Structure 1
């Protein structure tokens, strides 16, 4: 009903012909091109209330910004956050926002490095994950294109690493993953995700079967560090 109401406001109603004027067609074509840019700009600007941040000292965001899976905040429908989410994702469900120990899933993500700069495929980065990511089922780190949520098309099969991969670990069990257009010097290829030069990307950490250590923040991923 909500979407149909928006469409009705510009004359699109089920069972009725839609015959926009030449001027209206031009406006609609402009809107199709402009709206995604506005949504992206809003996403990158962030929220003044900081409801979208997981941590006070990290760049990681939560896609629902404290709302329900239908984007209801305490007293309003968060249409801006909903628009931002569906620009890079395709579905939302109650289980994604519930605090379900060892059964649910969480997806902290970031579009910024440790200094607050937008992640860009021309640079090289390192992501340090403390030992034992709190994911009873499995964990994964995946890169996505900022503007539409698609995956970077590189020579690698997938722009992702997960707990089932043969990843090199540090002596304390922690993990260092590397992103960039080329493999950074000294980095193991097993821990490397390739990026596209000039293209902005976001880094998502997926925790399936999320453990208490994520919720009480005794386990926190480091910010993505720019190394070159």
Structure 2
């Protein structure tokens, strides 16, 4: 509730647990997919590089560490796999970590076609609410609410992300994207909302109270009892 980013702990564990496991079992090479900041935008302040050794230094983690959440009930021992190892320790152990996207052309739609030919199927009920694609981020139930918070803060979320990626890869025009984004962006990710509430042990009222704390009033305005973007995509 304080963070306004429900998947922060999940992302922290995802990066830290993999690299800690590599240290424990002396695995010399860790291979990730794409460099998220380079592919999708974010806190990219310099040219992207193949090394993913500092993967925890990203938009997903920001300046926080798991130690910010320690209290009398949670000790450092409890959060070992949420704690990213020291960079020097990784170098001394000879652990290399790379982004595969620097060695292969990285495009989600192309990746999907490759795995589809090998048996993978998209979401059988069609795209999730607010989504244009039926195969993107369908491996868990919590992420959609997390991404939807981006809509409150920045005025865009899944549909914009997915359409921009297709535009970059010459698979869609801007006019086509505008129609899709304006049609889908106001959809709330309802499919797993109750699962989200149960997992985080919050009531629906607590959720909506928290939502309003993070709504960016610079880009949203109340109109006829409903929140509307001040600057819709045109």
Considering fraction of residues, name the structure with more helix: 2
Q: Structure 2 length as normaliser, TM-score? A: 0.26
Q: Structure 1 length as normaliser, TM-score? A: 0.27
Considering fraction of residues, name the structure with more strand: 1
